[in-house]
A and B are shown apart, each in its own frame.
Chain A
Amino acid sequence: MSMSNEMSTDFTPSTEAPEAANEPLGAWLTQVRTGYGAEQRDVAHHLGLNPAIIQALETDDFARLGAPVFVRGYLSRYARLLNLPEQAVLERYRQQSGVSQAPPPLQVARPLRRQTRIRDLRGLFYLLLVAGIGWTAIQHLDDLDPSRLTALWSGASRNGDQPTATTAVTAATQTQYPFQPASELANQPAAAPESPTSAPQPATLPSPPPAPVVVTSTAPPVQNAPPPAPEPMPAPSLPGVQAATAAPIPSSPTEENGDNATTDAGAKLLLEFSGDCWVEVKDAEGKVLISSLMRTDSSKSLSGPGPFAITLGNAPAARLILDGQPVDKTVYVPRRGTVSRFTLARPQP
């Protein structure tokens, strides 16, 4: 390590340093420096500082020197060089510059953070928009369900072609499907007389072949609108429908005689449950045949004049057999929820 440079001015104290009366700090430093016969550049050379810093200290222009920590350092060293009391010089600096003991608060700049937040919010807005559109679409999805529309079209066209082979089942679940209500069904013309024992003749029926379980819409335009279709749509390929087509339920004698086209005297309904289900069944006369909670793996056999007004609390767990023919579940199981209200009548052959 090298030693200090040779000094051009001797700062050895010859006499006691003059006390600072009330004069400014810079004037005090200047007075002591001139007492040693030194120039500013001599002091700057001794301290290894820029002469401009010495000038700023002697003119009390502390703002030019930056943060107080640096000014205190300069003053401390200058005071030691001039053999002045260091603490007194620093105290004078504090009083004069108004520098408090507490440093200024720290600052953290975060300009980019806010932009990022706005972008995040924009993404959230788009997400909500897409979710809203999706929810709306789901709300109207039932109206656009192709299977329902197919069934609707099929039923309507068959009604137009053969009003006597009226649909037997109507369903109106709590989801407000555009099904035909039982009252409208009752106003339809009676079926043509047919032998009760004769098997259905698919060849005599128009295309498509009649399905034993057909749903008709309650919406008037749909009910009345379809004219006889030149090329009627095929019946929906639902399992229940196919089974019923292969072996349709024979019509009751009452219907055969045309006494009451809308009631099925002595229809037998078997209810089977794979889970707990509340059930209520009323016959055509409004008599409550059952209104109770059915337990898992239980069954109930009912008979009475049809059609039956049925309410199922847990429709997916119920299996309905009308006169020995299982009823297609798609007819009465709702798309959402489990509660189903519908009217079940014996199909016309």
Chain B
Amino acid sequence: MFKWLRGKFSNDLSIDLGTANTLIYVRGGGIVLNEPSVVAINQDPVRGIRTIAAVGTDAKRMLGRTPNNLSTIRPMKDGVIADFTVTEKMLQHFIRKVHSRKFFNPSPRVLISVPCGSTQVERRAIRESAMGAGARVVYLIPEPMAAAIGAGIPVEEARGAMVLDIGGGTSEVAVISLNGIVYAGAVRIGGDRFDEAIISYVRRNFGVLIGEPTAERIKHEIGSAYPTSEVREIEIKGRNLAEGVPRSFTLNSNEILEALQEPLSGIISAVKMALETTPPELAGDVAERGIVLTGGGALMRDIDKLIMEETGLNVVVAEDPLTCVARGGGRVLELIAKDEHAVEAFAIE
């Protein structure tokens, strides 16, 4: 109720509702929030009532370290909502956090990026979740389009550009021309699958069980997508499955490269499939300009080299690839604020 009035006191938001991280761009203010998409829930053992204990960074610190009454949830999975209620609460928390006005509950216009491979049901869930969190109007934009705009690709040109967005839950590849998506493909492989692959590799080869945060740390520090002469090492601790006690051991970058072969192959296959399906004129443009990498996965060492080697095309890592989607959404919001008809472009729903 009174959403219109409250909207007058709210700033438009572009939200990159990612599997791993949620980023919020405020129109006219830039990126104002970058927190993990994690929610800690406290369950009253007597009454059975569930309450939100922490959201974002605070909740991520609790990941894997919670007592019985607490549980940490990642409400997004594979780029879409896995737990509707918790997602709504998380969005509500983030939206209130980025609004300085406390007198009114904010009711902003929100632009949310969604995976291009998501179904209508999944998109509707995201829209309803944002509406439930207080949004006045919800626009949905495909993630590759937002990523391309955020990377600075001139999407309005009559020239094809290929963008590969490697996120936490999905990797999406799209060919963009004239403010529209010519081809889009998505695979449910992303940073989470990299972590799972590392956990699985360590368990299989070292007989040690490690948690998700540890796997993520390994990925960030020594993860590599292409073999190099420089070998980096990291010492980690986990629970030895045979002895049942914690043990410390050392992993090197070549081992992690081996562990990541399977998910990386899936991404390469998606890129090759996109190149095969792209119309010839646009394929020529892509061959000339190359592929632009965005998303957190683009930060993996030498992933551009791997894709270049596999496809034979030039590969460019966008500036600040983690925030490309949120920044691209923000630029679209700026345009919508000036011209309402912009919602008809950029494949916005």
Interface residues of A (CB under 8 A from B): 1-4, 47-50, 66-70, 72-74, 76-77, 103-110, 113
**Does A4 contact B152, Cβ atoms closer than 8 Å?**
no
Main secondary structure of the interface of A (DSSP, over half): loop
Which of B152, B316, B342 lies in contact with A74, CB distance below 8 A?
A: B316
Interchain nearest-CB distance for B344 vs A (Å): 8
Interchain nearest-CB distance for B287 vs A (Å): 10
**Does A1 contact B152, Cβ atoms closer than 8 Å?**
no
B212 at the interface (CB under 8 A from A): no
Interface residues of B (CB under 8 A from A): 149, 151-156, 179, 227, 261, 264-265, 268, 288-290, 292, 304-306, 308-310, 312-319, 331-332, 334-335, 339, 341-342, 344-345
If A3-B309, A105-B335 touch, whether A67 touches B153 (CB-CB below 8 Å) is: yes
**Does A73 contact B317, Cβ atoms closer than 8 Å?**
yes
**Does B156 contact A103, Cβ atoms closer than 8 Å?**
no
**Does A70 contact B289, Cβ atoms closer than 8 Å?**
yes
Interchain nearest-CB distance for B19 vs A (Å): 25
Interchain nearest-CB distance for A245 vs B (Å): 69
If A106-B331, A108-B339 touch, whether A69 touches B310 (CB-CB below 8 Å) is: no
**Does B313 contact A108, Cβ atoms closer than 8 Å?**
no
Residues of chain B within 8 A of A74, CB atoms compared: 314, 316
**Does A103 contact B152, Cβ atoms closer than 8 Å?**
yes
Q: Nearest CB to that of B324 among chain A residues?
A: A69
A103 to B305, CA, bound (A): 26
**Does B309 contact A70, Cβ atoms closer than 8 Å?**
no
Residues of chain B within 8 A of A73, CB atoms compared: 290, 292, 314-317
A48 to B289, CA, bound (A): 12
18 A-B contacts (beta carbon < 8 Å): A1-B261, A3-B227, A48-B313, A49-B314, A66-B289, A67-B152, A68-B152, A69-B153, A69-B292, A69-B316, A69-B319, A72-B316, A74-B316, A77-B314, A103-B331, A106-B149, A106-B342, A107-B156
**Does A1 contact B309, Cβ atoms closer than 8 Å?**
yes
A105 to B152, CA, bound (A): 10
A108 to B346, CA, bound (A): 9
Interchain nearest-CB distance for B144 vs A (Å): 15
Interchain nearest-CB distance for A5 vs B (Å): 9
**Does B306 contact A1, Cβ atoms closer than 8 Å?**
yes
